[in-house]
Structure 1
Amino acid sequence: MKHYSYAEWQQYVKDEMGNSLREELEGHLYTCDQCLDIYLQAVTANETSLPTLPNETQFTDRIMVMVPVTNCNVSKVEITKTVPDTRLFHYLLAAAATLLLMFTGVFQTLASYTSAFEKPMIQEKKPKPSVTEGVINRTFAWMDSIEKKEAIKK
């Protein structure tokens, strides 16, 4: 991944580069945290040269006036009156559905299926004994049989 220098980020902040390189730098900011840190350093260093808003509240008010209003004849009072009614309706609908599912036994049936999911799907397989372990086990079994035969003879 190509990283950009501090000088390039300063040019970006001061708007001293072409559109193609500008778009490339903007795209790079989305993927590179290292360059984002350098960019923030360049912004901080050039903070005094950036334009400032003389009156932020007036700016916000002017922008809000320019935002198009949708063609809606409903006043704010009417909207606030209908919102609690829809919430109450949704609450009652959810409560009725819960009671219906409880009384029909759906939840009980679902609870019985959960035991099947609680069991592990993959069972542990015991590893096969190696050839060496098999030979050792047979040797000990053979030696035990010889000791038993000698014990019987005595």
Structure 2
Amino acid sequence: MKHFSYDEWLSYVKDEINDQAREELEGHLYSCDQCLEHYLQALSVHESSLPILSNESSFTDLVMAEISKQKEVVTKPLIESKKPFYQQVAFHYLIAAAATLLLTFSGVFQSLATYASAVEAPQHSKEIKPSITDEVIDKTFAWMDSLEKKEANK
């Protein structure tokens, strides 16, 4: 972690640095106790040249009022801004439902299902081997048919 010198913090307090350096110093100040100590020392040395607040509580109230105004300005456009109908979620669902109904009733899905079954069907050049279950069922029916024939011959 890079630490900043006392002179750098003094320049920060005197507002003699550029915005990029200011952001870097402020970001570092949150995570470094050693630099916080240098900053507080620079602040106490340069304290006499800082503006004096006549009424600290009214200053705090003014700052809090400004923050509230900023929050209102930021949130109002989000709340009051109405999107056009074509940017609303319900409009998109309506279009999707209409497209689905159109494709269903026009037979597009049926033709896709037919095409998919044709693609899935095995090639005629290959021998189609029945499953074991089908073979067992066929043999069972053949056995039952032979029993019926024997009973009929008696």
Judge same fold: TM > 0.5, yes or no: no
Bigger radius of gyration among the two: 2
TM-score with structure 2 setting the length: 0.39
TM-score with structure 1 setting the length: 0.39
